[in-house]
């Protein structure tokens, strides 16, 4: 066994809940999900019923049903949702959320993709 020095001490400070801020990356931008994304999401969802296979919601029969769902999930403080906007299209092509947030462990999962 090799001698590996221990890493830095991690403080036990409880981290704040993540905010619903815009995150810009090279491949995609994540921005807080809103009603303004519904038209793009509706267009993307057409013919993609299998993409809902592992989610507990969808596919949505009408754009109004999708809009109502987006309204419900876009205000969840404990699970912020983001529109996923690829740099190649500039349009919302999906969503994701921060879930299973554990402030005491400084951890969260990305889900509902």
Give residue-wise pLDDT tens across range 50-95. Answer: 999 999 999 999 999 999 999 999 988 889 999 999 999 999 999 9
Which CATH superfamily, name and number, covers 26-108? Gcn5-related N-acetyltransferase (GNAT) (3.40.630.30)
Torsion, CA 44, CA 46, CA 33, CA 89, rounded to 10: 10
pLDDT digits (tens, 9 = 90+) for 98-113: 999 988 888 899 999 9
Query: What pTM was computed for the model?
Result: 0.84
First to last CA, the chain: 41
pLDDT for the residue numbered 73: 95
Largest distance between two CA atoms of the chain: 61
pLDDT for the residue numbered 1: 57
DSSP assignment of 35-102: GGGHHHHHHHHTT-GGGGTTSSS---SSHHHHHHHHHHHTT-TTS-EEEEEETTT-S--EEEEEEEEE
Average pLDDT for 34-61: 95
């Amino acid at each position: 066994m090799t001698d590996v020095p221990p890493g830095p001490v991690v403080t036990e400070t409880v981290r704040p809940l993540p905010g619903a801020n815009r995150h810009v990356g090279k491949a995609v931008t994540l921005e807080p999900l809103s009603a303004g994304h519904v038209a793009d999401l509706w267009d993307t969802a057409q013919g993609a019923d299998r993409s809902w296979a592992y989610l507990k919601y969808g596919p949505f029969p009408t754009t109004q049903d999708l809009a109502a769902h987006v309204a419900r999930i876009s205000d969840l403080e404990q699970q912020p949702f983001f529109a996923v906007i690829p740099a190649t299209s500039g349009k919302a092509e999906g969503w994701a959320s921060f879930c299973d947030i554990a402030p005491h462990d400084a951890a969260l999962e990305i889900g509902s993709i």
